[in-house]
Structure 1
Amino acid sequence: MNEEKFIRLKKNFKLRNIEVQYFETLENVKSFILNIIPIKCTIGIGHSVTLQKLDITNALLERGNIVYDKELAKNREECKDLKKKALITDWYITGSNAISIDGQIVNVDHSGNRVAAITFGPDKVIIVVGKNKVVDTVDEAIRRVKNVACPLNAKRAGFNPPCVTLNKCVDCVSKERVCNSLSIIEGQSDSNRIKLFIVNEECGF
């Protein structure tokens, strides 16, 4: 993403009360997150390939934070419990399926826990995205979510809706579909709540 596009993106999100920062590497992001989040805080994690690569959960646990990450669950019931606890944490860290230069954050969820937490619940939200997730408009963001992110995430999670074979969305009603909740964040009433961290790397789907 060139400098002109980033300046426009940052301006558009600022108008919507969402803070944007740019980082060269995931390691830079990780260090920054560990600096701004106090040790005496609870943290929820929204599952993301980007966050797996960032390995932020282990870093937070090792220094003493209480972290609710469904990936730490031993069974389905514990997974559900961790998702619920993550909704009322001090901080929530997640990725995103797409963001637009116009100023929208677009995500799709299987169970809905991630989009719910981004919308309301945790006091502060950090969204980490690679440069590959940035598109010009909200329409392009939705297309990206449905035709790129959903098929790849479905395959990764072991589901087999039609989009996995076709590599595109056909608006199915398959029991295997992972795109049950589509969320478009267009702004925030609290100007300090959502922080969007864009990384100059290809990250996740």
Structure 2
Amino acid sequence: MDKDMELKIIKNFKSRNIDVAFFETLEEARGKIMELIPLTCSVGIGNSQTLKKMNISELLRARGNIVFDKTQAQSQEESKEIKKKSLLSDWYITGTNAISTEGHIVNIDHSGNRVAAMIYGPDNVIVVIGRNKICDTLDDAVHRARSISAPLNAKRAGYNPPCLELKKCIDCKTAERVCYNLVIVEGQFAKGRMKLFIVNEELGF
């Protein structure tokens, strides 16, 4: 990854009270997460292909942390309860759909549990992304979330909104829609609460 680009991203996010760290591999980022989170803390996990590849839920649980990961629920009701408990966890780990080099984090959610926890609740938030999620501007990041991430996530979840075929968002009102919540994180009131981990790999949607 270009060093000037790294410095620009670090500077712009720091001005918004969001810390940034770069890692060459997903394993390195995973090691840092395991180092940062105390054994006594509860951890909420946002649904993310990147985090699944990292196997972070299993590793945290195996060493003794209380982990709330809705993807491991056995029913819709259990999933709903886990999502609520995640909002009260000590730490929250999630992916996101895009960032801008200007310092924005852009996410599209179906039910809104991920973005809710990113914004408020857990005292510590770690957002993990691959280099493919980096966009130049906020407009580029929103476009990526709407027209690239949302269709791919819809397909993964078994939905079939118009954007799958059209390859772009048309702000549909169908029952197959998955992008009910578009949230732009422009900064943090609590300095140091949010950490952005950028991995020099192509990861997730």
- Check whether TM > 0.5: yes
Q: Does 1:176 align with 2:190?
A: no
Counterpart residue number, 1:28: 28
Q: Hey, what does 2:201 align to over in structure 1?
A: 201
Deviation at 1:67, TM superposition (A): 0.2
Q: State the distance in 2 between where 1:130 and 1:36 align.
A: 20
**Structure 1 residue 12: Cα displacement:** 0.3
Residue 110 of structure 1 corresponds to which residue in structure 2? 110
Give the alignment of 1:4-153 within 5 angstroms: 4-153=4-153
- For 1:184-199, what aligned pairs fall within 5 Å after superposition? 184-199=184-199
Distance 2:201 2:120 in 1: 28
Partner of 1:44, secondary structure, is strand
Paired with 1:134 and 1:193, the residues of 2 have a C-alpha distance of 21
Residue type matched to 1:157 in 2?
Answer: A
Q: Which runs of 5+ in 1 are unaligned?
A: none
- Does 1:158 find its partner at 2:184? no
Aligned residues between the structures: 205
What is the alpha-carbon distance in structure 1 between the residues aligned to residue 133 and residue 4 of structure 2? 17
Partner AA of 2:170 in structure 1:
V
Q: CA deviation at 1:179?
A: 0.3
Q: TM-score, normalising length from structure 2?
A: 0.99
Give the SS at the match of 1:197.
strand
Structure 2 unaligned segments of length 5 or more: list them.
none
Q: RMSD between aligned alpha carbons?
A: 0.6
- The one-character-per-residue Cα deviations of 1:97-155 (angstroms, maximum 9, x if unpaired) are 00000000000000000000000000100000000000111100000000100000000
Percent identity between the two aligned chains? 57
Give the match's secondary structure for 2:92. Answer: strand
After TM superposition, give the deviation of residue 32 of structure 1 in Å: 0.6
Q: CA deviation at 1:71?
A: 1.0
Taking structure 1 as the reference length, the TM-score comes to: 0.99
Q: Deviations over 1:31-56 (max 9, x none)?
A: 11001100000000000000011110
SS of residue paired to 2:202: coil
The separation in 1 between residues aligned to 2:19 and 2:191, in whole angstroms, is: 8
| Whole-Å separation in 2 of the counterparts to 1:3 and 1:101 | 13
- Deviation per residue, 1:38-96 (Å, 9 max, x gap): 00000000000000111100000100000000011000000000000000100000001
Q: What's the secondary structure of 2:115's corresponding residue?
A: helix
Distance 1:138 1:69 in 2: 29
- Cα distance in 1 for partners of 2:4, 2:11 equals 11
